[in-house]
Amino acid sequence: MRDEDIPLSVRNLTIRYGERTAVEDLSFDVHPGKIYGLLGPNGAGKTSTLKAILGLVEKSSGRAFVYGKDVRDDPVYVKNRIGVVLESPVLFDSLTPNEFMEFVASIRKVDNRGRIEHLVNAFGLQEYMETPIASLSMGNRQKTTIVAALMSEPPLLLLDEPFNGLDIRSVKIFKELILNHVRRGNSVLFSTHILDVVEKICDEVGILNNGRMVEHGTMDDLRKRLEGSDLEEIFLKATKMDEEIESILRAFE
């Protein structure tokens, strides 16, 4: 496969914040038409990895290629191919969802107004479109960033804990939209702590612990290798938390 056909290729990525190494020598690929789930305990380095792919981390080494190009070499090429859900920056708090979406639509050159309206309706945001983002509930803020990420139908979605705060209806709709997205040959990388979503929709899973990839593969690969029946068991074994949890619980007996 040619480099420009690979949605994401992370190579030897290392991220440091001062003395602390948040991510160390991380390499993985996201393939066309596939969903990759990035798992890991709090502080494992998931958000830092997503930020580095977008060029938002200062001290990093290694490379992350989006359809063959590193964001540091060609930011416009990369950003035009990615839809992003990160924690919404405070900067946008004074805008309404309507203004924020207009802003994103203008940068991303989205002229399919019908798609924006469909997304707004799908997530039930109509009645909040003129409310300042700062006054929205956590779930409605999250839905606003999701609509902004999906509106230009970018071939790669990078989503940091995208299901946070969403109600059950919105989780279901969002999962189906993600599946539609990959059926058309697009790709998704997302981080999450919600294991049943990962089991249901991910083609490949990577488990980070202390900044290192401790396991990765398809659910079947991981089940076989770690002899776990479900992802919770696999995750706890891969991060060696199974024994730790047992000893913590013994202290309560």
Q: Which helix (H) or strand (E) holds 142?
A: helix 138-150
- Minimum distance from residue 157 beta carbon to ligand ATP (Å): 17
- Quote the tokens at residue 164: 């946070």
DSSP state of 45: S
CA distance 2 to 117: 36
- Minimum distance from residue 209 beta carbon to ligand ATP (Å): 9
The amino acid at residue 187 is: S
Which lies closer to ligand ATP via its Cβ, residue 32 or residue 41? 41
Helix axes 231-238, 219-226, angle to 10 degrees: 60
Strand, helix or coil at 154? coil
CA distance 75 to 66: 10
Residue numbers at the binding site for ligand ATP (CB under 6 A): 17, 20, 22, 40, 42-48
- Minimum distance from residue 17 beta carbon to ligand ATP (Å): 3
- Minimum distance from residue 57 beta carbon to ligand ATP (Å): 8
Q: How many CB atoms lie within 10 A of CB 161?
A: 19
Q: Is 210 left (phi over 0), alpha (psi -120 to 50) or beta?
A: left
- Minimum distance from residue 176 beta carbon to ligand ATP (Å): 25
The amino acid at residue 5 is: D
